[in-house]
Structure 1
Amino acid sequence: MNRTLLIIGAGIEACEGIKIAKAMDLKLIIADGNPAAPGLAMADWPIVASTYDGEAILAQARELMARGVTVDGVIAMCADVPLSVAIISNALGLPGLSLESAFWVSDKLAMKARLQAEGIPIPRFADVSDKSTLAERARAIGFPLIIKPVDSRGARGVQLIDNANGLEAACALAARESPTGRVMLEEYLSGPQFSTETLVDDGRCYTLGFADRNYEWLARTKPFIIENGGDAPTGVSPEIKAEVNATVERAAAALGIRQGVAKGDMVYTTQGAKVIEIAGRLSGGFFSTTQIPLSTGVNFIEKAIKLALGEHLSEAEVTPSRNRAVAIRYLDLQPGKVDAIHGEAAARASAGVEMLTLFIEPGSMIRPLANHTQRAGFAIASADDKHNAIERAKAALALISIEYETAKP
């Protein structure tokens, strides 16, 4: 009774999770650097501080505690800030990641080194923050390869490079997207890719999220790797799914994730399942908040909050009650300045549509896609089978039309 949860992140995606926390009768301290973030309106005690500044959030939480407010748990809501969460949880003696684990899942080079040391299958990788090593290390990994910032998010600066010609320019771009200017290379792995999401309760894993990732735009968006959503249930065999799940759960353990959430970016290669990345947080893209519950019947956010509060999960509450097909697809638009948007209401009311959100409005500038933050909107649809879920999401988006401003003479 009267427990208080500190939530880091109050953006549009976080609002779905914040609503669940409110429905659990929790008091909420909510932190976000944007004073206009929509989730702050649901806070009992709002904190305006950067989600990346754990110490600043901790200082304001301590001020509230001095006034008699308890803090019983801390969680990031669809924000990639594991270090901020760990700074607070460790300082206040709350459940969560150790500072070492939070570092591993925040720094892609440290993560790869740790996974490699623990025998987890990963792509070949190299640190090229020293640009003089770029050509040599690229040759050692071989083309095609991935170049990306060590510590950025939302696919910013992530590029697929086919040959040495554009390597230096790609490295410079990736460095600009890194807060620390660090860049790494990674072997490009062929094979189906998956998004996974796992609840971890005292080391015991429950992987409830498993979706096939969709890269049908890749030929057009290269060198940038822009995902056009995903869908469940998976199209691969139960044996492959089981191997991917086992690998992601081993990786979570190797990174010290014993209480909380492990989000996996996985690929199945000719050598078997391999880890691209593991995040110690709830996913974005409305995967944890919307898609997993629609597919499995399990309120994933509620369970993650319980773990953050130090509660344990029963087998019954993490056992899926259904296996419904769910698909998310993104709006595909030509570049230009938006003058008017038509068809949104009809798209929202389209058959099987569970959620439709646009990130644009009249006056917005649509630019060629270079990272995931530039996507203009999405539809999530469900159906009895995967094909129909995908078609429903596509059909809803097809109802939306955009008028662009024309240049005046």
Structure 2
Amino acid sequence: MKRILFLGAAPTQLPPIRYALEQGHYVITCDYLPDNPGHALAHESHNVSTTDRDAVLALARRLEIDGVVAYASDPAAPTAAWVGNQLGLPSNPYDAVLTLARKDLFRAFLAANGFNVPRSQSFYEREAARAWARELGMPVFVKPVDSSGSKGVTCLEHEDDLDAAFDSALSFSREKKVVIEERIVRASYQVAGDGFIVDGKLAFRCWADEHFDRLCNGLVPIGESFPATHDEALLRVAHDETQRLLDLLGMKTGALNFDFIFTEDGRFWFLELGPRNGGCLIPEVIRYATDVDLIKYTVDAALGLDCSSLHMKPAHGHWSSYMIHSLDTGAFDSLWLSERMRGHIVEQSLWVKPGDAVRKYSGSHDILGTMILRFDSADQMREMMDHMENDVRVVVTEARE
């Protein structure tokens, strides 16, 4: 029986835990929230923060684990690499994973190696950040260097709002460091999705159009639709640039989560390349769309099992994930669905009950549930995903800004 340590036990992190249990592995979970549902599934659980690499390493040593997984978590990914490197378990180089997980290090790496990259600097002090924002000219993006799920991200239009944007980013940063970078105008949809590395090669990738809700925080994804609608020649450039990056970093195994854009002149720009599986049900939707189970490969790779069977497969059909969210702050009353939407729902999970406090959507921490959707055509999928307020609404009472 293989012993596998999962860093995180949140609702979005249940799929690999369930797979490991199905395979007969001994499952151990750890994070700082003892009520997270993954703990109830595990053989044993521990109240240890996934970002405390030395505490997790001590736990892993004591438990004599055979593999470690940080599923859908940027903050936990460096810890998983650190533990894997120290114990000689299947893993990627710690410095490479840290570079991908931290926006300041990633931007510096891209610039040093000839990738397209926005002008960007990172700051501990707000006045230095203010001076750089003035030099760039508005609008600029303000982000924590080490958060995920678009938490603490602001598109700053006016300098008068910099203090609030800086404080918001700071509140989501463990390093207490904030990125200020120029805004790059994209052509068409931002691209999301997941990939997987086998023996240093990008063996598989499945990309999607990313959707946002203009009625709340238009910077936070509310879902992805598969497959991506961009020209295949552009996506080949993205593939090749990803492989160049993996070679430079010495990445060898495991999942990748993508966010990138193309500009009007056809240039490719990395926004993020997370060294882990995507949230927002991306692996689950990819499984529906391609029959490729990246959840299985993530667990198997962490245990050093053979993953050579993984290869590219095109998406079939029209599939989306959707993050249920509120446009208002208040108390949850109900979830309203249009009649036409009901026919497209393949899976649905609601994490709140009547009376629970909900917030206006500002980041992944405000997600209230999830859906997997199937559509009849690409046009129908794009039209509905871009205007989901017509078909899905969270009803709240005592709404307030």
Name the TM-score, length of structure 2 as normaliser: 0.89
Query: What's the counterpart of residue 294 of structure 2?
Result: 300
Deviation at 1:389, TM superposition (A): 4.2
Question: How much does 1:60 deviate?
Answer: 2.4
By how many angstroms is 1:399 displaced?
Answer: 6.2
SS at match of 2:279: coil
Match of 1:199 in 2: 196
Q: Of residues 383, 395, 399 in structure 2, which corresponds to 1:402?
A: 395
Deviations 1:99-126 (A, max 9, x none): 2113212321111111221222222211
Partners of 2:106 and 2:335 in 1: CA distance? 45
Answer whether contact 2:193 2:206 (CA < 8 A) is retained: yes
- 5+ residue gaps, structure 2: none
**Given the alignment of the two structures, is residue 335 of structure 1 paired with residue 328 of structure 2, yes or no?**
yes
Q: How many residues align?
A: 395
**C-alpha offsets along residues 172-197 of structure 1, whole Å, 9 cap, x if unaligned?**
32222222221111121111311132
Task: Check if 1:350 corresponds to 2:342.
Answer: yes
Give the direction of change, closer, same or farther, for the CA distance of 1:347–1:249 in structure 2 (3 Å limit): farther
Q: 1:337 to 1:99 in 2, by over 3 A?
A: same
- Cα 1:390–1:8 change in 2 (3 A) is same
Task: Quickly say closer, same or farther: Cα 1:348–1:200, change in 2 above 3 A.
Answer: farther
| Cα pair distance change 1:215/1:401, threshold 3 Å | closer
Give the direction of change, closer, same or farther, for the CA distance of 1:39–1:163 in structure 2 (3 Å limit): same
1:244-290 CA distance string (max 9 Å, x none): 222233233333322112222111113411111111111111112x1
Report if aligned partners of 1:193, 1:212 keep a CA contact under 8 Å in 2: yes
Counterpart contact for 1:331–1:397, Cα < 8 Å = no
Find the counterpart in structure 1 of residue 210 from structure 2. 213
Q: 2:373 corresponds to which letter in structure 1?
A: A
Q: Is the 8 A contact 2:91 2:302 kept in 1?
A: yes
Q: Equivalents in 2 of 1:321, 1:339: separation in Å? A: 39
Contact 1:75 1:305 (8 Å CA) reproduced: yes
The equivalent residue for 2:358 is: 366
Between the aligned partners of 1:347 and 1:376, the Cα distance in structure 2 is 21
- CA shift in 2, pair 1:215/1:341, >3 Å: closer
Of residues 307, 313, 337, the one that matches 1:313 is: 307
In the alignment, what sits opposite 2:50?
A: 51
What amino acid is aligned across from residue 87 of structure 1 in structure 2?
A: W
Correspondence for 2:270? 275
Find the residue that maps to 1:229 and give its secondary structure: strand
Determine the structure 2 residue equivalent to 1:90. 85
Structure-1 residue corresponding to 2:67 = 73
- How far apart, CA to CA, are the structure 1 residues paired with 2:104 and 2:114? 15
Whole-angstrom CA distance in 2 between matches of 1:163 and 1:399: 33
Distance 2:341 2:191 in 1: 29
- Give, as a single letter, the amino acid of the residue that structure 1 aligns with 2:395: I
User: 1:256 aligned to 247, 250, 254, which one?
Assistant: 250
RMSD: 2.7
Aligned equivalents of 2:51 and 2:150: distance in 1? 18
1:68 matched residue in structure 2 = none
Conserved? CA contact 1:120–1:250, under 8 Å: no
Aligned sequence identity (%):
24
Q: Using a 3 Å threshold, how does the CA distance of structure 1 residues 77 and 282 change in structure 2: closer, same or farther? A: same
